[in-house]
Structure formats: structure tokens, C-alpha cells
Amino acid sequence: METYDTIIIGGASAGLTSAIYTARQGMKTLVITKDIGGQALLTTDIQNYPGFDMIGGFELTNKFKEQAEYYGTEFVYDEALSVNAGGDRFTVKTSGSEFTALSIILAFGKTPRDLNVPGESTLRGHGISYCAICDGPLFRGKEVAVAGNGSHALEALVYLSSVAGKVFYITNAKKLAGEESLIDTVKGIKNKEIYFDSTLLSVNGEKSVESVTFRNKSSGETTDLKLSAVFAEMGYIAKTGFVKNLVELNKSNEIVVDKFGRTSHEGVFACGDVTDTPYKQAVISAGQGATAALSAYNFVQNLKGKVAAKSDWKLIKH
């Protein structure tokens, strides 16, 4: 079985930046990911990434991917199910294959939280969606709802208002919350209706979404809305169960890392939203990805008895 210098699990800002750095250093690099972009796919206009006045999340991360491929990074589009250590090798099993490497970089970010209401399990994929950009066009001209809060929910609302006939925003917040620029944009949208201080009770329908039921927390009043889709924007959770026996996690199930991106297991590094580093932003994930990549490079160089690079770029022997 072919052994890679490093396997990167995750294909968004952190993982793709790691791939650029490891591949440029001449490391044989494999990225295992279900998709390219991760949470960035939810953002149509990124306005705070250095070098771009405005760029879409898909466009930005696709640039990362192309650059990583240019330097020789290989990609496998599959889900990593386990990571096991044995000797000086790590084995990553996916749903379809098995790969080995000298080092691992965990960069798989977070996954959307469920609505946790009746109807979700049966109507998921039949009107319940966790990606406005992916599924919004399927409901062009129809009435849809965004359930959640914060900037992610507002971004979904803004995008959906451009394709749907009408967008209902059901949020437990008592006022609009998120980035000021988004709030200003939302206020100017005409085909929206907002229900503050409200909790979703159920999503209703037989074969597809037909309506939702929610309750105003202050008045106790229950409302039914007929619509065709519900977009869940309840935030994200670190889905780290498959590595819980490999690396240390905190109470939020985030991977604990030091300033070099090292985890509690030698040879395993982590970066991006899946770590315990605060401020979950694309630019921060990219920076962490570069740090983890350089740390992985030094680790592999030491394994091979070669010269490793210090953080100040002076070369030393270990």
C-alpha cells in the first residue's frame, strides 16, 4: 500500500491551505473530503478575506483547490470513518478504501446542527435542507423558511430572497443578530417576513415539506405556515466522534491544539473550525492550515532524519 507523507481530512479553507503548503514542500499529500468548500459554500459574498473586495465562498475555496492541485495534491472524495495509529504509520479508512500516511492533518470543520423537531428525519432531503446555496434553486418562486439565528441564517435569508417567492425567517432571537452589513441588507429585503422570539415545533408533510408549526415564546401563540422548504441554520457542531480515541477533545468536542497545530497525539495535527481556537473565520482557518502544514512537514522531516525548518525559516538539525 502506498504511504503518503501526510493525509489531510477536510476540503475547506484550513485543509486546502494545508495542502498547498505541504505539497509545495515536496510532501506527497492526499486530501480526503466529501466536498470542496465546507461552510464557505453557504456564503455568496465574502467581504472580509484579504485580497478580495468581494468573492463567493465556492469561488474562493475552488481557487485554493486549484492551487493545491497545481503543486501535486491528490484528492479522494469520500468520508473518513476512522484514523488509527500503528508504529510510525497512520491508517485512514473511508467508506470505500484505506490509506496510510506518516502524518495526519485534521481539518474537517463542523457540520450543521439538526433542527431536532418532529418531521425532520423523514423530510430531510425532501424540503428540509442545510445548504441554501446548494438547494435554494430547487424552490425558485416558492415560499420557504429559514430557521435559526446569527450571520449564517441572515446569509441564507439574503440568498434565498433572490430565488424564492417569499422567505419566512423563524428565529429565537428578539431582534436581528449578525454582521451589521448583513442586518442592513436584510432590512431592505421586501419578500421576507420575520418571526422573532419563536421556537420551531415541527415540520409537517407526508412526502415533502408542506408546512411548519412554531410558537412565540413570549405570548405562547402557535402559528402554522404553509411553505415548500425549511433551511436549517441552527449553527454548527464539531463532529469529532471518529477521532475521540486518538486526540484530546474539549467539552465542546473540539480538538485541542497548541500554537503549532499539534494535537495530543504525536504526528497528528489539526486546524480550522474543528479546533478549540476561537474566532471561526475563513482567514483564520487558512492561517491555522499553514501552521499545521509546516508542523507536519517538520515532523515528517525528523522521521526521515532530514533537515527541518524552524518557524523563523532558519534550517536546523533535530
Domains of the chain: 3-110+238-316 (3.50.50.60), 120-233 (3.50.50.60)
Distance in angstroms (rounded) separating the CA atoms of residues 106 and 240: 10
Record the pTM: 0.67
H or E segment and range at residue 8: strand 6-9
Distances (CA, A) of 143 to 2, 155, 187, 219, 267: 51, 17, 19, 25, 50
Residue 42 confidence (pLDDT)? 59
Residue 314 confidence (pLDDT)? 43
Q: Say if residue 221 is exposed, middle or buried (CB neighbours under 10 Å; 0-12, 13-18, 19+).
A: exposed
Number of H helices, E strands in the chain: 7, 21
Residue 109 confidence (pLDDT)? 82
**Residue closest to 304 by CA, chosen among 3, 2, 30, 1:** 3
What is the CB neighbour count within 10 angstroms for residue 76? Answer: 16
Averaged over successive runs of 10 residues, the pLDDT of the chain (318 residues) comes to 94 95 97 82 74 84 93 92 94 92 93 88 87 83 96 91 97 93 95 98 97 97 97 83 95 94 98 91 93 98 83 42
Query: DSSP secondary-structure letter at 266?
Result: T
Residue 36 confidence (pLDDT)? 80
H or E segment and range at residue 229: strand 229-233
Residue 26 confidence (pLDDT)? 96
Residue 84 confidence (pLDDT)? 97
